[in-house]
Amino acid sequence: MRFVTFFFSGTGNTWWAVREFTEIASTNGHDAEMCSIENDQIKDFSILSELLEKSDAIGFAYPIYGANLPPIMREFITKVKRISENLNKLRQKYCFIITTIGYVNGYGPYKIKKILRSIGLKLKAHINLRLTNNVSTPGLKINPIPHKKLVKRKKKSIKKLDKFYGKIIKNKKRIRGIGPWLVPGMLIRRITAPKMNLNYQRLSINLDTCNNCEICINNCPTNSIIRIDNKITFKEGCTGCYRCYNFCPTHSILYKGKFADPLVYHRYHGPIDNLNLNNIKQ
């Protein structure tokens, strides 16, 4: 069986989950590939078409933002829609979703099922992994969980992924996460959806402490951080991943103009030690 999983990961959790899943499939003798939707090659329509066409199982993986899809993933799926009309037998492929969360999914398989149906894919399996929240700001102080707890959640997630893989190769259906717990998601979405696209307005840079390393500019998945005349500006299109905020080595990214003390608002540096940002973009 040939697997491909298209993923977006702001701070590494989803990347880690997809990496584990891909490893499980590979060690069981399958051809398994993981592709970041930030990867330039994927932006090429012919390469994307080829990948979709040659794979038997097609996955999409993303973190839940405000009980919703990250805008960047929604745009990617729209792109697949544009090419899907020319692809053969997409509906016969095994389609799966991997999501990661800190607390509550609230999005579930329902909505994504509909979106996928519109591009000719039939969702057959969905898994949601609880790892850790990745953003703590003066707007919402919810620090990432301690390392020890994350290690436990990672172990549990690997077990879940293993079972998930088992269902896929047996061509079985696995749709979970439908229930009353999706109701709070509707409320969260209502509150956060209009604000998601305005994330860029909340962020700015303290040029007095910035060391000009440009980690933020070079790693923004939507190229929404730009330098104009020695000023760094956040512009529309930001997907709200908070990669810039978490990985700024001098903690110079301001939230609503305020310094967020890292001792109070812990920055999240990913699920593994020394996470390489280049890896999560491949």
Please choose, out of 71-79, 149-157, 208-216, 234-242, the segment that lies near ligand FMN by the rule CB under 6 A: 234-242
Task: Report the candidate in 263, 260, 264 with the shortest Cα–Cα distance to residue 242.
Answer: 260
For residue 212, what are its two tokens?
């000009």
For residue 90, what are its two tokens?
């997409």
Min dist CB 279 to ligand FMN, Å, is 12
Site residue total, ligand FMN (CB under 6 A): 27
Please choose, out of 82-90, 160-168, 203-211, 237-245, the segment that lies near ligand FMN by the rule CB under 6 A: 237-245
Q: x-or-dash pattern for ligand FMN, window 165-204, by CB under 6 A?
A: -----------------------x----------------
Residue 39 in the binding site for ligand FMN (CB under 6 A):
no
Please choose, out of 20-28, 90-98, 100-108, 252-260, the segment that lies near ligand FMN by the rule CB under 6 A: 100-108
Please choose, out of 25-33, 98-106, 111-119, 255-263, the segment that lies near ligand FMN by the rule CB under 6 A: 98-106
Distance CA 248, CA 269 (A): 10
Residue 10 in the binding site for ligand FMN (CB under 6 A):
yes
Strand ranges across the sheet with 2-7: 31-36, 2-7, 57-63, 94-101, 123-130
Residue 63 in the binding site for ligand FMN (CB under 6 A):
yes
Please choose, out of 87-95, 112-120, 236-244, 251-259, the segment that lies near ligand FMN by the rule CB under 6 A: 236-244
Nearer to ligand FMN, 93 or 154 (CB): 154
Residue 22 in the binding site for ligand FMN (CB under 6 A):
no
Nearer to ligand FMN, 14 or 204 (CB): 14
Taking CB under 6 A as the criterion, which residues in 117-146 touch ligand FMN?
131-135
Which residues of the chain form contacts with ligand FMN (CB under 6 A)? 9-15, 63-67, 100-104, 106, 131-135, 188, 240-242
